[in-house]
Structure 1
Amino acid sequence: MTTARQALAVATARFGFSATPRLDAELLLAHALGIERSVLLLDLDRAVPAAFAALVERRAAHEPVAYITGSRGFWTLDLAVGPGALIPRADSETLIEAAIAHFADRPPTTILDLGTGPGTLLLTLLDIWPDVRGIGVDRSAAALGYARRNATIAGGRAMLVQGDWATAVAGRFDLVVANPPYIATGATLPPEVAGFEPAAALFAGPEGLDDYRRLAAMLRACVAPTGAVLLEIGFDQADAVGALLAEQGFATRLHHDLGGNPRVVLAVARGGA
């Protein structure tokens, strides 16, 4: 009998391309067993189900763990994800922290999430603020399918709309958030990203700025006069995105991720809160 301890050692060795090979193996084995990873780690002498071998082969072919298991943890949530939806990243939690800090005295009443994907930002914020309502917009029907599955978290407080950025909605919102595509077309990405995640959610022209240009021109019309905009950015895009927002009358401030990189731009109308 192969034990979990033995199987994890073999799988970990095969996942040498990953930044987290042991964690990947543990998540896949827990998924195959139908238990939480924490439960698995309490008994590493348990038997290994036959289904685990197929999961190892999929990961060895660089398929993302989140697509294999069908879920990804973000903040305090477990979100359903799969092909066609951008996988939530830990770096995006910087935006959640920035939102909490900015609205520390009084939560927003309404939120607009542009490019919501599987609902990552919108649903996390609605979970944090139980009296807030929001709208998530995405062009991708596949991504919205996952967002609708995840929207049960919000208990009817989330509306999901298929459309092109802010052209799909009307009105002004206290908080507008977005994690748009920001990778330069032609940039080299890890195989598990380039080969599996949707290109439309990753690439944005030769400088990675095409979608920021479109968004900047729309934001004044959809954020409340005393509201705020939070945009996730690439680590080297702070100056360029800040300039685009300044042209539209916004004052900006940066928030950095755990690695010390500029990760989120907070924008408010000049003279606003």
Structure 2
Amino acid sequence: MNPVDRALHEAVRRLPDCTDTPRLDAELLLAHAFGIERDALLLRPPTGPIPASFAALLQRRCEGEPVAYIVGRRAFWNIELEVGPGALIPRPDSETLISAAIEHFAGGDGPERILDLGTGPGTLLLAALDQWPRATGLGVDSSEAALAYARRNAERLGLAPRAQFRRGDWAKRVTERFDLLLCNPPYVAQGAELGPGVAEHEPPEALFGGADGLDDYRLLAPEIGRLLAPGGLAAIEIGYDQGDSAAALFAAAGLKPTLARDLGGRPRALLIRA
């Protein structure tokens, strides 16, 4: 067994109590310790000694710190984002919104103006701007810490000339109409069970949406109609068990939401077409 395989084997033995993906976590952390990508670690394993920093990285993961915070980045759609304390870690579930937008604009020129409410580290806006090179967009968030990540990500990805970020309270003081509106509100009910390290490390204001997880949807529902340009689409993420309850709030505001499912077949987004 080569040194890399031995180190991974020992790491996997330590990690099961703090993660559901011990092998993946170990590979990502060891690659980070070597200063290489995970693919290189697996396809062309380094032959030198295991970096001394690996033990400390592993200990941080054992204490519940998310891998994305430890390595400082997370892949989403076709881009990689800098993340860290104060910014919600992008989830693959949120890619459902980008997929729905691509389907909506298929065969056309795509959206010209994009709004991302609750942008966090720029996740949805920057993925959409990367997808549609002629588009420009606005990302709004209440957290200056999250917006700092978003601005750095835009600069690093070469998208800063097309991306504006603003501190705000959802759609307040947003008066423009947009072709595409993306939003991943906090939708976890207070007291709900979360994965290891999530509640302890990620910003609670980006996770929890009140007693039933729907507080922010109640604020958003009356605003969506005025923000959409003719032919536009709003894609709003929901929890897997909120298809009916969240949709009812938008229907009460005179909108006609339809449901989009994630790759696992679970309800994941409400789609509202202008």
Q: Please report the TM-score for the alignment, with normalisation by the length of structure 2.
A: 0.95
Residue of structure 1 in register with 2:31 after alignment: 30
What corresponds to 1:120 in structure 2? Answer: 123
Question: Which 4+ stretches in 1 moved above 3 angstroms?
Answer: none
Query: What's the CA shift for 1:29?
Result: 0.8
Q: Which residue number corresponds to residue 238 of structure 1?
A: 243
Distance between the aligned counterparts of 1:140 and 1:9, measured in 2? Answer: 40
For residues 224 and 261 of structure 2, the distance between their equivalents in structure 1, rounded to whole angstroms, comes to 22
Mind listing any 5+ residue stretches in structure 2 that lack a counterpart? none
- The secondary structure found in structure 2 opposite 1:224 is strand
Q: Take 1:155 and 1:186, find their aligned partners in 2: how far apart are those partners?
A: 38
Asked if the contact 1:15–1:60 (Cα under 8 Å) also holds between the matched residues in 2, the reply is: yes
Residue 57 of structure 2: aligned partner = 55
Q: Is the 8 A contact 1:112 1:175 kept in 2?
A: yes
Q: Is the 1:165–1:215 contact (alpha carbons within 8 Å) kept by the matching residues of 2?
A: yes
Q: Deviations over 1:72-123 (max 9, x none)?
A: 0111111000001000001111111001001112201100000000011000
Deviations 1:131-173 (A, max 9, x none): 0000000001111111011112214100000110011422111
Equivalent pair of 2:151/2:160 in contact (CA under 8 Å):
no
What TM-score comes out, normalization by structure 1 length?
0.95
**2:64 partner letter:** H
2:45 is aligned with 1:40: no
Q: CA deviation at 1:46?
A: 3.6
Structure 1 residue 217 corresponds to structure 2 residue 218: no
Could you tell me how far apart the structure 2 residues matched to 1:126 and 1:69 are? 25
Q: Deviations over 1:31-87 (max 9, x none)?
A: 111111111112264421101111000001010000000000111111000001000
Other structure's SS at 2:176 match: coil
The 3 A distance-change label for structure 1 pair 84 and 168 is farther
Indicate the residue corresponding to 1:3 in structure 2: 3
The answer on whether the counterparts of 1:228 and 1:267 sit within 8 Å (CA) in structure 2 is yes
Matches within 5 A, 1:1-273: 3-17=3-17, 18-41=19-42, 42-43=44-45, 45-106=47-108, 107-152=110-155, 153=157, 154-269=159-274
CA distance, structure 2, for counterparts of residue 173 and residue 253 of structure 1: 19
